[in-house]
Amino acid sequence: MPPKHFTLNTGAKIPSIGLGTWQSPPGQVASAVSYALQNGYTLIDGAYCYANEDEVGQGLAEAFSAGKVKREDIFVVSKVWTTYNTRVEEGLDKSLKSLGLDYVDLFLVHWPLLMNPEGNHDRFPTKPDGSRDIIQGYNHVDTWKQMEALLKTGKTKAIGVSNYSKLYLEQLLPHATVIPAVNQIENHPGLPQQEIVDLCKEKGIHIMAYSPLGSTGGPLLSAEPVVKIAEKHGVKPSSVLLSYHAPRGSTVLAKSVTPERIKENIESLIDLDEEDQAELKAYSDKLVAEKKWQRFVYPPFGVNFGFPDKQ
């Protein structure tokens, strides 16, 4: 079986698989979180932007009251949203209140940009023409300095980033007194982002992969090498895509609100052998060489984040 944990640059252990909560249907998040924690999961990934942290908190409380899991045994992740990038502690406080927690284990910069903190919407402010209300000239390093200050408050055990390209990491690292513990990125055979993975490995930054099936509808489930490897091991293609990350030294986020699927995702992980890994790498390398990357999550911010597939 793949490893159950990896070690962050803080010395803390992070689970190799977690439950993602992005786009989970309202009214079903609490039961999904509670079920996951009582059936083998010890990592829950959330964010203020998802607008469901109240439900995540309900699920945490339900799991704790059931007596099968304690707070100190689980790893909770949240993220500061772009409208709070100039007031990150306020953003964290809002998440903690919703979650019903005194601290999170990891707090991330969700995206390295600033949307108008005084705009017409708390999460998605818009201009009169309907476009996103982005504050131009913002320096994401300023947000990181506020993130570093959070560590002294005890409200988060570790800090990191999300959706950071190699370019943005190279802009940040010379100014960082604390190296990010994690970079959470879209990652799967259709979008290996090897340049980011390699830089993060070199700097001791752990990769956390989201949208491992290729986001809504699981478009990578039908990819030829994925299907072939699944048939070889007698598992579903989803098992191959979730198992892809452990050999890369990365944590993967599996998203579902269905009990059967939640349990299946964690119980069906397999060890991909060297031949399997080589096949998936060849598939990825071919897509990159032909510039046929498959990025499925890219909000219309109108900002160049430095990703090669978006140039």
Rounded-to-integer distance, Cα 282 and Cα 295, Å: 18
The token pair that represents 162 in the structure block: 């999300």
Residue whose tokens read 């980011």: 196
Active site residue 50: yes
The token pair that represents 305 in the structure block: 């984040």
> CB-hemisphere CA count at 13 Å for 93?
6
State the catalytic residue, choosing from 50, 84, 244, 283: 50
| 211 phi, psi to nearest 5 deg | 50, 50
Say if residues 59 and 34 touch (Cβ distance below 8 Å).
Answer: yes
Q: Show Cβ contacts of residue 97 under 8 Å, excluding neighbours closer than 6 positions.
A: none
CA angle 30, 91, 133 (to 5 degrees): 105
Catalytic residues: 50
